[in-house]
Amino acid sequence: PAPRRNLAGRVRGQWGPARESRLRELGEVAASLDMRAYLVGGSVRDLLLNAQTQDVDIVVEGEAPVLARQLQARNPELQVSVHPSFGTATLSFPGGERLDLASSRVEHYPSPAALPRVESSGIQADLWRRDFTINAMAMHIHPERFGELLDPYHGATDLKERRIRVLHSLSFIEDPTRILRALRFELRLGFLMDAMSERLVRNAVHLDVFSQLSGARLWRELSYLLDLPHALALSDRLSELHLWPVLRGEPLADPARFRARVARAVDSLRWYRLLFRAAPEVAGWRLWIRVFWGDLDDARLRQRLREFQLPARELSAALSDVEKLRQARSRLLKPLDPWTRYQLLSPLSMEGLLALLSWDECEILQAQVSEFIQHQYDLRLPLSGKDLQALGIPRGPRIGELLAQLRRAVVEGHVTDRETAKQWIRQSLQASESHARSQPPG
Ligand code: CTP
C-alpha cells in the first residue's frame, strides 16, 4: 500500500510549535485514557491547502468531556466548557486559542442485545456523516501516529482536482444547507461540484427540500455567500441550479436584465471601495440584499426578508432603502435640480445608493447618484447650532430651521465655507426681519 501521508510538518510549519504541542498533548492525554483523538473537517482541508484556519475541530473516539476535564486537571489555566448531553467540550487557552472537542458517536447498538460497534469505526462513521469529501478527512493526533492523514473518501484527490463532492446521494436531502455550502466552497476555493453532486443538487431542489428549512437557517448560510467577493458568479450559479425561486419566492422576471444589474452593482462596489478607501466599510451582503430582492413587489419583499429574520434594524433599513430607491429611480432618469436630487437621495444608506447606482443602464441616473455619493452623502455644514448662537440667534426652533435652510444653500452652491455661510445667515436674518416689518401687525 502507498505510504500514508503525514501532515506533522505542515502542522508545525503553518500553525507553529505552540499549537502543535497542544495537539500532541491532547493526543497523549487521550491515549492515556484509552481514547483516540483526531483533527477533523475544515482544519485538515486548510492544512492541505496551506490556508488559514479559524476553528480547530477535534473528534474523540470516547467521551470528549472526560478528556477535556483530564486536560484541565493538568493545565489549571485552561478554561473548559463542557456540554455533556452533546458529548462536546470547548478548550480555551490563555492566548485566546480555542479547540472544539466532539465525541464520535460509537455507541451504536444494532439490536438491544448486540455489542456496540467497534471503537475504530467511530472516526470513519463520523467522517461519513459530513458534507463533502474535502471536509471529510481526519489527521491522527495519537502519539504513535501523529500527523497521519486519514482520508477514506479521497478528499485529498478532490482537493487536488478542485472538486466538491458529496459522500452519498442523500446528503442534500438530509441537510439542504449543504447546497449553499457547496456554492460557498466552489466560490471561495474556485472549485466546482462534480457532475453527480450537481445532479443531486438539482434533484433536491426539484424535491423542494428547502421548504423544510427555516428562513433563519437559510439566511445564515446565504449571508456567508453574500459576503464573498463573487456576487456575479454566485448569481450565475444560483440561476444555473434554479435556486432563485427558492431564495426569492419567485423566479427572475428578466434574467438577462437582472444579470446586467448585478454586474453593474459589482462595478459600483469596486468603484466605491477604490474611491473611498478610508470611508466606513460598506457591507457587501447589505448591497446584495437590495440588489437580489429589491425588485420583488412590496408584499413579497416584506415576507421574504421577514422570513430571514434579519435583525429589526437591518430589516427596516433594507425595506426603507428599497422604497426610497424606487421613488428616486424613475425621477433620476432625467436631470434634477440639486436640491430635489438631494432630498430624494439623502434618506438612502450607502448600500442603497450603490444599488440605485446599478439599477438601470442610464447615464443620467448614474451621473446624478455618483455625484451625490462623492460630494453630498457626507455633507457637513460649515456652521453648527453653537455658531448660530454666537451670531446672536437665541436657542430654540429657529436654529433648526436656519440649519435646514443653510443645508439647502450648501447643496445649491450658494454657500461654500464658513465665511459665505455667515454672510448667508446674516442676509437671511435681515430678510426675515424686513419681511416681519412689512407684515401688518396682528
Ligand atoms: N459540516 C457538515 N455539514 C454541514 C455543516 C458542517 O458536514 N451542514 C461539517 C464539515 O465536515 C465541516 C465541519 O462540519 O468541515 C465544520 O463546519 P464549519 O465550521 O461550518 O465549516 P468548515 O469546513 O470549518 O469551513 P470554514 O472554513 O468556513 O469554517
* Side chain identity, residue 254: D
Q: What is the pLDDT of residue 112?
A: 53
Is 131 a pocket residue for ligand 1 (Cβ < 6 Å)? yes
Q: Do 309 and 296 meet the contact criterion of CB atoms below 8 Å apart?
A: no
Is 163 a pocket residue for ligand 1 (Cβ < 6 Å)? no
Is 177 a pocket residue for ligand 1 (Cβ < 6 Å)? yes
Q: Which of the residue ranges 44-58, 110-124, 229-243 has the most confident prediction, judged by mean pLDDT?
A: 229-243
CB atoms within 10 A of CB 340: 12
Mean pLDDT of 304-329: 96
Q: Does residue 319 sit within a domain?
A: yes
* DSSP assignment of 11-67: IIIII-HHHHHHHHHHHHHHHHTT-EEEEETHHHHHHHHT---S-EEEEEES-HHHH
Q: What pTM did the predictor assign?
A: 0.89
Provide, rounded to the nearest whole percent, the portion of the chain with pLDDT above 90. 85
Partners of residue 61 on adjacent β-strands: 36
Close Cβ partners of 26 (under 8 Å, ≥ 6 residues apart): 37, 58, 67, 71, 99, 141
Q: Report the distance separating Cα 20 and Cα 139, nearest Å.
A: 13
Considering its fold, how many domains does the chain have in total? 4
Tell whether 343 and 398 lie within a shared domain: no
Pairing between strand 138-140 and 149-150? Answer: antiparallel
Tell whether 295 and 335 lie within a shared domain: no
Q: Does residue 356 sit within a domain?
A: yes
Provide, rounded to the nearest whole percent, the portion of the chain with pLDDT above 70. 95
Structural domain range at position 274? 171-300
Close Cβ partners of 38 (under 8 Å, ≥ 6 residues apart): 58, 59, 60, 61, 123, 138, 139, 140, 141, 150
Q: What is the pLDDT of residue 278?
A: 74
Most ligand 1 atoms within 8 A of CB, residue of 135, 168, 210 to mutate: 135
| Element housing 432 (H / E) | helix 418-438
Tell whether 149 and 23 lie within a shared domain: yes
Q: Does residue 306 sit within a domain?
A: no
Tell whether 108 and 203 lie within a shared domain: no
* CA geometry: angle 260, 266, 267, nearest 5 deg: 90
Helix, strand, or coil (residue 141): coil
Q: What is the pLDDT of residue 43?
A: 96
Q: Does residue 422 sit within a domain?
A: yes
Q: Identify each DSSP E strand in 84-227 by its residue range.
A: 88-92, 98-103, 138-140, 149-150, 163-164, 192-193
Q: Report the distance separating Cα 218 and Cα 155, nearest Å.
A: 26
For the chain, helix, strand, coil in percent to 5 are 60, 10, 35
Q: What is the Å distance from ligand 1's center to 41 Cα? A: 6
Tell whether 140 and 274 lie within a shared domain: no
Widest CA span in the chain: 107
Is 142 a pocket residue for ligand 1 (Cβ < 6 Å)? no
Q: What is the pLDDT of residue 113?
A: 56
Last residue of a domain, one of 300, 333, 364: 300
Last residue of a domain, one of 375, 395, 417: 375
pLDDT band at residue 134, thresholds of 50, 70 and 90?
very high
- The CATH number for 23's domain is 3.30.460.10
Q: Does residue 94 sit within a domain?
A: yes
Q: Does residue 16 sit within a domain?
A: yes
Most ligand 1 atoms within 8 A of CB, residue of 45, 58, 131, 217 to mutate: 131
Q: Identify each DSSP E strand in 14-142 by its residue range.
A: 36-40, 56-61, 79-83, 88-92, 98-103, 138-140
Tell whether 257 and 351 lie within a shared domain: no
Tell whether 192 and 287 lie within a shared domain: yes
Is 135 a pocket residue for ligand 1 (Cβ < 6 Å)? yes
Q: What is the pLDDT of residue 441?
A: 65
Tell whether 144 and 178 lie within a shared domain: no
* End-to-end alpha carbon distance in the chain: 106
Q: What is the pLDDT of residue 29?
A: 97
Q: Does residue 279 sit within a domain?
A: yes
Q: What is the Å distance from ligand 1's center to 51 Cα? A: 15
Mean pLDDT of 16-38: 95
Tell whether 403 and 369 lie within a shared domain: no
The complex's ipTM works out to 0.96
Q: Do 387 and 406 meet the contact criterion of CB atoms below 8 Å apart?
A: no
Tell whether 105 and 196 lie within a shared domain: no
Is 42 a pocket residue for ligand 1 (Cβ < 6 Å)? yes
Q: What is the pLDDT of residue 107?
A: 52
**Taking each helix axis from N to C terminus, what angle separates 350-359 and 255-275, rounded to the nearest 10 degrees?**
130
Q: Whose CA is nearest to atom 5 of ligand 1?
A: 131
Q: What is the Å distance from ligand 1's center to 131 Cα? A: 7
User: What is the radius of gyration, based on Cα positions, of the chain?
Assistant: 30
User: What backbone phi and psi angles, to 5 degrees, belong to 380?
Assistant: -110, 135
Q: Report the distance separating Cα 147 and Cα 20, nearest Å.
A: 10
User: What backbone phi and psi angles, to 5 degrees, belong to 80?
Assistant: -130, 130
* Per-residue DSSP letter, 108: -
* Side chain identity, residue 417: D
Q: Does residue 380 sit within a domain?
A: no
* DSSP assignment of 371-393: HHHHHTTT---SS-HHHHHHTTP
Tell whether 123 and 206 lie within a shared domain: no
Last residue of a domain, one of 324, 344, 375: 375
Mean pLDDT of 198-224: 95
Tell whether 27 and 122 lie within a shared domain: yes
Is 100 a pocket residue for ligand 1 (Cβ < 6 Å)? no
Question: Is residue 283 over pLDDT 90?
Answer: yes
* CA geometry: angle 21, 25, 28, nearest 5 deg: 140
pLDDT band at residue 118, thresholds of 50, 70 and 90?
very low
Question: Is residue 115 over pLDDT 70?
Answer: no
* Per-residue DSSP letter, 135: G
